[in-house]
Amino acid sequence: MTHKYVQEHGGVGCLGRRKLDAWAEEEWGVEILRTPPYHCHWNPIEFLWSQTKQNIRNMGNRDDKIPIVESRTIRFLTEFKADAAKALFDKTKKDEDETRAMMMEKAAMLEDTDFSLLYETDEQGRLVNIRIDES
């Protein structure tokens, strides 16, 4: 069905991201989420792969044959619940939002360089008589 739609609408070159995203939403009720390239920590699929690998490790051993590992992988992925998938997206969004907030906070910080920190040390090397010189 997808190939037919693409051909009927002028081929791949005529379908930009926005048109494809709108089609997926309209036709299938699917929202396309674009993740930043080269930022695996903001890509929910990486969390899923991590859980998949951990599950496979817990279920078997190093001597398992490929067909056994493949069937376990398929079973894990087909049984992966929608609420678990949502949790992966929520975690990604939370991490991204926290990073964005930290970046904005850092950009808004004023660097206070109008003072000097003066201190002395005692015989054991501990700091004593700490004071700020604002002149």
Q: 24-53: per-residue pLDDT in tens?
A: 899 999 888 777 777 777 888 889 999 999
Residue 114 counted as domain residue: yes
- In total, how many domains does the chain have? 2
3-state helix, strand, coil in the chain (%, to 5): 60, 10, 30
**pLDDT of the residue at 123:** 83
Say how many CA atoms lie within 13 Å of 131 toward its Cβ. 5
- One domain for residues 30 and 53: no
Q: What residues in the chain have per-residue pLDDT under 70?
A: 1-2, 12-16, 110-115, 117, 130-135
Residue 135 counted as domain residue: no
- The overall pTM is greater than 0.75: no
Find the Cα–Cα–Cα–Cα dihedral 96, 98, 103, 107, rounded to 10°: 140
**pLDDT of the residue at 121:** 79
Q: Which residues span the domain enclosing 66?
A: 39-129
Residue 20's identity, in one-letter code, is L
- One domain for residues 52 and 104: yes
